Protein backbone atom coordinates (compact mmCIF):
# COMPACT_ATOMS: atom_id res chain seq x y z
CA UNK A 1 0.00 0.00 0.00
CA UNK A 2 1.33 3.43 -0.92
CA UNK A 3 2.60 5.88 1.69
CA UNK A 4 0.13 8.44 0.36
CA UNK A 5 -2.86 6.19 1.02
CA UNK A 6 -1.61 5.37 4.50
CA UNK A 7 -1.22 9.05 5.33
CA UNK A 8 -4.75 9.63 4.10
CA UNK A 9 -6.06 6.85 6.31
CA UNK A 10 -4.19 7.75 9.50
CA UNK A 11 -6.20 10.91 10.35
CA UNK A 12 -9.25 8.66 10.65
CA UNK A 13 -7.76 7.08 13.75
CA UNK A 14 -10.37 6.96 16.42
CA UNK A 15 -11.59 10.07 18.16
CA UNK A 16 -12.49 10.01 21.86
CA UNK A 17 -16.22 9.49 22.32
CA UNK A 18 -18.14 10.74 25.32
CA UNK A 19 -20.38 7.97 26.60
CA UNK A 20 -23.49 8.41 28.67
CA UNK A 21 -23.95 6.37 31.82
CA UNK A 22 -26.48 4.19 29.96
CA UNK A 23 -23.81 2.93 27.57
CA UNK A 24 -21.14 0.34 28.15
CA UNK A 25 -18.26 -0.67 25.86
CA UNK A 26 -18.81 -3.79 23.79
CA UNK A 27 -16.04 -6.26 24.68
CA UNK A 28 -13.81 -7.27 21.79
CA UNK A 29 -14.46 -10.82 20.57
CA UNK A 30 -17.83 -11.01 22.30
CA UNK A 31 -19.39 -12.49 19.15
CA UNK A 32 -18.50 -13.64 15.66
CA UNK A 33 -17.84 -10.88 13.16
CA UNK A 34 -20.42 -10.32 10.40
CA UNK A 35 -20.54 -9.10 6.81
CA UNK A 36 -23.76 -7.19 6.07
CA UNK A 37 -24.82 -5.52 2.83
CA UNK A 38 -27.46 -2.79 2.82
CA UNK A 39 -28.73 -1.89 -0.64
CA UNK A 40 -31.34 0.21 -2.37
CA UNK A 41 -31.78 2.84 -5.11
CA UNK A 42 -30.61 6.41 -4.85
CA UNK A 43 -32.15 8.61 -2.16
CA UNK A 44 -33.17 5.69 0.07
CA UNK A 45 -30.81 6.74 2.87
CA UNK A 46 -27.81 4.41 2.43
CA UNK A 47 -25.17 7.01 3.32
CA UNK A 48 -27.33 8.42 6.12
CA UNK A 49 -27.62 4.95 7.65
CA UNK A 50 -23.88 4.38 7.21
CA UNK A 51 -23.11 7.55 9.17
CA UNK A 52 -25.66 6.70 11.86
CA UNK A 53 -24.24 3.19 12.22
CA UNK A 54 -20.72 4.57 12.57
CA UNK A 55 -21.94 6.93 15.29
CA UNK A 56 -23.73 4.17 17.17
CA UNK A 57 -20.72 1.84 17.17
CA UNK A 58 -18.24 4.59 18.08
CA UNK A 59 -20.27 5.77 21.06
CA UNK A 60 -20.15 2.22 22.40
CA UNK A 61 -16.37 2.45 22.49
CA UNK A 62 -15.76 0.47 19.30
CA UNK A 63 -13.01 1.56 16.92
CA UNK A 64 -13.69 1.69 13.22
CA UNK A 65 -12.79 3.04 9.81
CA UNK A 66 -15.10 4.70 7.31
CA UNK A 67 -14.43 3.92 3.63
CA UNK A 68 -15.97 5.25 0.43
CA UNK A 69 -15.48 5.41 -3.32
CA UNK A 70 -16.74 7.90 -5.93
CA UNK A 71 -18.67 10.00 -3.43
CA UNK A 72 -20.53 12.78 -5.23
CA UNK A 73 -18.77 15.38 -3.05
CA UNK A 74 -15.61 14.69 -5.05
CA UNK A 75 -13.47 14.14 -1.96
CA UNK A 76 -12.72 11.33 0.51
CA UNK A 77 -15.96 11.77 2.42
CA UNK A 78 -19.24 10.03 3.06
CA UNK A 79 -21.98 12.59 2.44
CA UNK A 80 -25.73 12.21 2.65
CA UNK A 81 -28.41 14.12 0.79
CA UNK A 82 -29.76 15.50 4.07
CA UNK A 83 -26.49 17.30 4.79
CA UNK A 84 -24.56 14.89 7.02
CA UNK A 85 -20.91 14.14 6.31
CA UNK A 86 -17.84 12.29 7.58
CA UNK A 87 -14.22 12.13 6.47
CA UNK A 88 -13.37 8.77 4.96
CA UNK A 89 -10.66 6.72 3.30
CA UNK A 90 -10.99 6.71 -0.50
CA UNK A 91 -10.94 3.13 -1.77
CA UNK A 92 -8.70 3.34 -4.81
CA UNK A 93 -8.61 0.51 -7.32
CA UNK A 94 -5.33 -0.95 -6.03
CA UNK A 95 -5.96 -0.50 -2.31
CA UNK A 96 -5.52 -3.72 -0.31
CA UNK A 97 -8.15 -3.50 2.41
CA UNK A 98 -6.60 -6.23 4.56
CA UNK A 99 -3.26 -4.40 4.60
CA UNK A 100 -5.03 -1.13 5.35
CA UNK A 101 -6.89 -2.49 8.36
CA UNK A 102 -4.00 -4.53 9.77
CA UNK A 103 -1.76 -1.45 9.66
CA UNK A 104 -3.72 -0.18 12.69
CA UNK A 105 -3.30 -1.46 16.23
CA UNK A 106 -6.93 -2.57 16.33
CA UNK A 107 -10.08 -2.17 14.24
CA UNK A 108 -13.47 -3.43 15.37
CA UNK A 109 -15.56 -2.55 12.34
CA UNK A 110 -15.61 -1.04 8.86
CA UNK A 111 -18.26 1.22 7.34
CA UNK A 112 -18.01 0.71 3.56
CA UNK A 113 -20.09 3.25 1.68
CA UNK A 114 -20.54 2.99 -2.12
CA UNK A 115 -19.32 -0.62 -1.89
CA UNK A 116 -20.92 -1.37 -5.26
CA UNK A 117 -18.00 0.50 -6.86
CA UNK A 118 -15.29 -1.58 -5.16
CA UNK A 119 -13.49 -4.27 -7.10
CA UNK A 120 -14.55 -7.89 -6.68
CA UNK A 121 -11.12 -8.58 -5.19
CA UNK A 122 -11.75 -5.92 -2.55
CA UNK A 123 -15.06 -7.58 -1.66
CA UNK A 124 -13.13 -10.82 -1.15
CA UNK A 125 -10.77 -8.88 1.13
CA UNK A 126 -13.73 -7.66 3.18
CA UNK A 127 -14.82 -11.27 3.66
CA UNK A 128 -11.27 -12.14 4.75
CA UNK A 129 -11.35 -9.35 7.33
CA UNK A 130 -14.54 -10.80 8.78
CA UNK A 131 -13.46 -14.44 8.79
CA UNK A 132 -9.75 -14.18 9.54
CA UNK A 133 -9.48 -10.98 11.57
CA UNK A 134 -12.81 -10.69 13.37
CA UNK A 135 -13.70 -7.29 11.89
CA UNK A 136 -17.37 -6.44 11.38
CA UNK A 137 -18.05 -5.10 7.88
CA UNK A 138 -21.13 -3.02 7.09
CA UNK A 139 -21.34 -2.36 3.35
CA UNK A 140 -23.75 0.03 1.66
CA UNK A 141 -24.46 0.55 -2.02
CA UNK A 142 -26.56 0.18 -5.12
CA UNK A 143 -27.44 -3.28 -6.37
CA UNK A 144 -27.74 -2.48 -10.09
CA UNK A 145 -26.53 0.12 -12.57
CA UNK A 146 -28.46 2.43 -14.91
CA UNK A 147 -29.23 -0.54 -17.21
CA UNK A 148 -30.65 -2.57 -14.28
CA UNK A 149 -27.59 -4.86 -14.48
CA UNK A 150 -25.98 -5.79 -11.18
CA UNK A 151 -22.63 -4.29 -10.28
CA UNK A 152 -20.00 -7.06 -10.00
CA UNK A 153 -19.10 -6.01 -6.45
CA UNK A 154 -22.76 -5.94 -5.42
CA UNK A 155 -23.30 -9.38 -6.89
CA UNK A 156 -20.36 -10.73 -4.90
CA UNK A 157 -21.73 -9.13 -1.75
CA UNK A 158 -25.07 -10.84 -2.37
CA UNK A 159 -23.18 -14.12 -2.62
CA UNK A 160 -20.92 -13.69 0.42
CA UNK A 161 -22.77 -11.54 2.94
CA UNK A 162 -24.16 -13.01 6.14
CA UNK A 163 -27.12 -10.66 5.78
CA UNK A 164 -28.46 -8.71 2.80
CA UNK A 165 -30.94 -5.97 3.66
CA UNK A 166 -33.04 -3.85 1.31
CA UNK A 167 -33.44 -0.44 2.93
CA UNK A 168 -37.02 0.31 3.87
CA UNK A 169 -37.02 4.08 3.24
CA UNK A 170 -39.41 4.23 0.29
CA UNK A 171 -38.31 6.23 -2.74
CA UNK A 172 -41.03 7.12 -5.23
CA UNK A 173 -41.05 7.23 -9.01
CA UNK A 174 -42.67 10.31 -10.57
CA UNK A 175 -45.85 8.24 -11.04
CA UNK A 176 -46.13 7.49 -7.32
CA UNK A 177 -45.08 3.85 -7.50
CA UNK A 178 -42.12 2.62 -5.44
CA UNK A 179 -38.83 3.52 -7.12
CA UNK A 180 -36.65 0.47 -7.70
CA UNK A 181 -34.15 1.33 -10.44
CA UNK A 182 -31.77 4.16 -11.27
CA UNK A 183 -31.99 5.82 -14.68
CA UNK A 184 -29.08 7.75 -16.21
CA UNK A 185 -30.32 10.91 -17.92
CA UNK A 186 -28.22 12.83 -20.44
CA UNK A 187 -29.70 15.85 -22.19
CA UNK A 188 -33.16 15.01 -20.93
CA UNK A 189 -33.06 11.52 -22.45
CA UNK A 190 -32.66 8.22 -20.61
CA UNK A 191 -29.39 6.54 -21.56
CA UNK A 192 -29.33 2.83 -22.38
CA UNK A 193 -25.63 2.42 -23.16
CA UNK A 194 -22.36 3.76 -21.80
CA UNK A 195 -19.75 3.20 -19.12
CA UNK A 196 -21.08 1.40 -16.07
CA UNK A 197 -19.82 4.04 -13.64
CA UNK A 198 -20.23 7.74 -14.47
CA UNK A 199 -20.42 10.32 -11.69
CA UNK A 200 -23.45 12.58 -12.05
CA UNK A 201 -25.63 15.03 -10.14
CA UNK A 202 -22.78 17.52 -9.79
CA UNK A 203 -22.60 21.13 -10.97
CA UNK A 204 -20.12 20.41 -13.77
CA UNK A 205 -21.66 17.15 -15.05
CA UNK A 206 -24.28 16.88 -17.82
CA UNK A 207 -25.30 13.54 -16.34
CA UNK A 208 -28.00 13.17 -13.74
CA UNK A 209 -29.69 10.15 -12.23
CA UNK A 210 -33.37 9.58 -11.54
CA UNK A 211 -35.14 6.84 -9.62
CA UNK A 212 -37.93 5.12 -11.55
CA UNK A 213 -40.32 2.26 -10.98
CA UNK A 214 -39.74 -0.87 -13.03
CA UNK A 215 -42.47 0.01 -15.55
CA UNK A 216 -41.09 3.42 -16.39
CA UNK A 217 -37.46 2.33 -16.30
CA UNK A 218 -38.27 -0.29 -18.91
CA UNK A 219 -40.32 2.12 -21.03
CA UNK A 220 -37.92 5.04 -20.60
CA UNK A 221 -40.53 7.54 -19.43
CA UNK A 222 -38.96 10.19 -17.19
CA UNK A 223 -42.10 12.19 -16.43
CA UNK A 224 -45.77 12.39 -17.25
CA UNK A 225 -45.27 14.19 -20.55
CA UNK A 226 -42.31 12.28 -21.94
CA UNK A 227 -42.72 9.59 -24.61
CA UNK A 228 -41.53 6.05 -24.16
CA UNK A 229 -38.35 5.03 -25.95
CA UNK A 230 -39.22 1.39 -26.60
CA UNK A 231 -41.64 0.00 -29.17
CA UNK A 232 -44.83 -1.15 -27.57
CA UNK A 233 -44.36 0.97 -24.44
CA UNK A 234 -46.48 3.99 -25.34
CA UNK A 235 -48.19 6.16 -22.79
CA UNK A 236 -49.58 5.04 -19.46
CA UNK A 237 -53.02 3.74 -20.15
CA UNK A 238 -52.40 3.14 -23.84
CA UNK A 239 -53.02 -0.37 -25.13
CA UNK A 240 -50.07 -2.65 -25.58
CA UNK A 241 -48.54 -2.57 -29.03
CA UNK A 242 -49.31 -6.14 -29.89
CA UNK A 243 -50.28 -7.55 -33.26
CA UNK A 244 -53.96 -6.88 -33.76
CA UNK A 245 -54.40 -4.68 -30.68
CA UNK A 246 -55.32 -1.31 -32.21
CA UNK A 247 -57.15 0.84 -29.71
CA UNK A 248 -59.54 0.48 -26.82
CA UNK A 249 -62.62 -1.29 -27.97
CA UNK A 250 -61.19 -2.44 -31.27
CA UNK A 251 -61.45 -6.14 -32.01
CA UNK A 252 -58.32 -8.23 -32.19
CA UNK A 253 -56.81 -8.46 -35.65
CA UNK A 254 -57.25 -12.16 -36.05
CA UNK A 255 -57.98 -14.03 -39.25
CA UNK A 256 -61.64 -13.51 -40.02
CA UNK A 257 -62.26 -10.97 -37.23
CA UNK A 258 -63.13 -7.76 -39.12
CA UNK A 259 -65.24 -5.46 -37.01
CA UNK A 260 -67.95 -5.66 -34.39
CA UNK A 261 -70.83 -7.57 -35.80
CA UNK A 262 -69.00 -8.77 -38.89
CA UNK A 263 -69.19 -12.46 -39.61
CA UNK A 264 -66.12 -14.56 -39.09
CA UNK A 265 -64.06 -15.10 -42.20
CA UNK A 266 -64.43 -18.83 -42.21
CA UNK A 267 -64.02 -21.07 -45.25
CA UNK A 268 -67.28 -21.21 -47.21
CA UNK A 269 -68.87 -18.29 -45.39
CA UNK A 270 -69.40 -14.94 -47.22
CA UNK A 271 -71.58 -12.06 -46.03
CA UNK A 272 -73.71 -14.31 -43.88
CA UNK A 273 -74.54 -16.74 -46.73
CA UNK A 274 -73.03 -20.16 -46.78
CA UNK A 275 -71.33 -20.99 -50.06
CA UNK A 276 -72.28 -24.22 -51.76
CA UNK A 277 -70.33 -27.16 -50.50
CA UNK A 278 -67.68 -28.48 -52.84
CA UNK A 279 -68.78 -31.45 -54.91
CA UNK A 280 -67.07 -34.67 -54.08
CA UNK A 281 -64.97 -35.91 -56.97
CA UNK A 282 -66.47 -38.94 -58.60
One DSSP character per residue, 185-222 reads: EETTEE--SS-S----SSTT-SEEEEEE-HHHHHHT--
**Helix, coil or strand: residue 138:** strand
Phi-psi region of 124 (alpha: psi -120 to 50; beta: other; left: phi over 0): alpha
Q: Report the alpha-carbon distance of residue 62 to residue 70 in Å, rounded.
A: 26
Report d(CA 126, CA 119) in Å as an integer.
11
Number of H-type helices and E-type strands within the chain? 6, 13
Query: Which residues are CB-contacts of 60 (< 8 A; sequence separation ≥ 6)?
Result: 19, 23, 24, 25, 26
- What region does 163 belong to: left with phi over 0, alpha with psi -120 to 50, or beta? beta
In angstroms, the CA 166 to CA 180 distance is 11
Show which residues are catalytic: 114
H/E segment holding residue 67 = strand 64-68
Q: In 3-state terms, what secondary structure has residue 48?
A: helix
Crossing angle for the helix pair 152-160 and 120-133, nearest 10 degrees?
Answer: 30
Amino acid sequence: MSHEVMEQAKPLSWRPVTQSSALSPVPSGARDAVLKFYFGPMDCGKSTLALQMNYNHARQGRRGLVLTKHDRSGGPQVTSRIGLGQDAVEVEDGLDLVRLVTSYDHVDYLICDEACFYSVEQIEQLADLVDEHGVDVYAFGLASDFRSVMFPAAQRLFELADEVCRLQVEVLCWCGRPGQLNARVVGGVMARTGEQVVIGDTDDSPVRYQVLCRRHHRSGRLDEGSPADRPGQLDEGSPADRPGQLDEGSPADRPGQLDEGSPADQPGRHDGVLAPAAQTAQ
